[in-house]
Structure 1
């Protein structure tokens, strides 16, 4: 597992989402180190320099939580605060749920904890949003990877812009015969928080590993639902913080009710922080505000 790390002190794991890598935490790595913490941002299973197995069933939530716990062990620690953004958030929430004795605190960015539903999630999303919804589209073998492989820079540019507070905040629907990148418009110019150098950095980090591993996370959503039956409606007990953008399409289209009811299933929720005008890429769009909220929470533990 490839990690980027900075500083020394209490351990803080920073888990990225899709389609990102350790680089999405570039601002927090420095700031947390300066505040007296050991900040560690891995490339998670299947991503960038870590890479991963070819088999789809090797990307379940149990594998991903196991990776997080294994990383805590490899770093010589008994516990960590785990922060997760986008897909990293469910890994963080589930690590706190499955192994609370290893988690001093949990921070979810963009994606709140959602209690296990009464039926498989892909079926529900297919009925609600249709075949073009990107999570449903990602269930196909091989096809979803093609639009990323064809033009990685364009895919990153479109995706990072479209879901940001500067973008259109659209529900990502893949047009028939198109690819994931086609669900997002090409920006006339990049927002102020994103540069062409940032896009080039993402492209370089993915070179050689491709996108099958990351998309395999989505291909396990129904399998995860089956595997987590024993934790149906189980609470998450460690201290918790949620940070979200009020222009995040994930919140607007899918998760606002889960945010509003978060304390029902996360009884030690310390705070919910809303970032005005911020979209999906919280720690990149608003690095100073996110870091301030994280350090305040860390200091309270």
Structure 2
């Protein structure tokens, strides 16, 4: 445990020097990945990690973020469940099922935006400084929410979506995709501050969980309770992911330009202590962290 914590502190301190450079985004090793769980988000250098020990080069802990309001810091960011690098890796989006979302500046770790989102399970940056969030099962949740970075904690738009778990922006189609319990939906931005659903598809299973871009064409990875799927935008069909070891309750799934998969599967309840890779296979241990999701930094595509 001590060795792991020391690696976080030492690695983060060393990497902070690189972040202070104007060329910070170029300083992040190309094959790096994000890990989120508990109140933390980590950046790990894949190539320089040894065996199963991750080389942690940056970290952020909501409990230590003094620029967050106290109830966000101590209560609403206790269960980090999504993290995405945006704007060339200069900023990070994070969400917590304890009830909040935020946008972070990576260089100085400042919180640029935060908002309450009941049982938040995913977050996405949209054009026009808009932020979409998936609010999952909770009396005040079960909906897709839209915010402006200029108006923290004030939703511009909501749409009912039971067990909302995923949200992704597709630049080519100029569309927002959102995943619920048994449905995948497509939305368009209208009037600059609202969304309109234009299509929906029943997913091949129940308990929709992960939604991530699968390739440069914008096809989507979708996971549900019993399996993992590829949704083709061209054919509008779901097919099993070729070459990926199908499993139940996959919490996160991504693939980089080289074809290597990154994924997480619960070991206890909803969390895991390992981040796994496939083609080629590898596994990193995080023994002191309840890991929920892991993503290639910048999506890897």
For normalisation by structure 1, the TM-score amounts to: 0.28
For normalisation by structure 2, the TM-score amounts to: 0.28
- More strand by proportion, 1 or 2? 2
- More helix by proportion, 1 or 2? 1
The structure with higher relative contact order (CA 8 Å, sep 6+) is 1
